[in-house]
Amino acid sequence: MSRFSRGNHAYGICDMTGFRYKLKDLVPEIVNQRPTGFRVGKDVVDKDQPQLQLGKVKVDDPRPLRDPRPDRAQAESRELFAWNPVGGGDIAFGSVTVGLDVEAKAGKVTVTTS
């Protein structure tokens, strides 16, 4: 036997909005995976934000390599290049060669209709 009545026709007030709801339509508000004690309407309840749960998921961000040894023997490993139809010739920027030609023209167009 239940210690409380079912409350089929009972109403309650939402702690968030102050609106009247059926008591069975009020749900607990959860913040940071813990109930706050508020009862809010099902249509206004906010989902628990994952941003507030920092530290709950272990994230490993490894450090960079110690004393890396990149391949410095091949000049090709230090070149930048372009693809057709964009690139073609070589343009030197310091010690780096970039295969890229850019050409622009400005002009005047005359349209005659009869």
- Measure Cα distances from 112 to 28, 106, 107, 109 in Å: 75, 20, 17, 10
Q: Evaluate if pTM is beyond 0.75.
A: no
Parts of the chain with a pLDDT under 70: 1-2, 73, 76-102
- Cα 33 to Cα 46: distance, rounded to the nearest angstrom: 12
Give the torsion through C-alpha atoms of 4, 7, 27, 14, to 10 deg.
Answer: -120
pLDDT digits (tens, 9 = 90+) for 4-21: 887 788 999 999 999 999
Q: Are 16 and 31 in contact (CB under 8 A)?
A: no
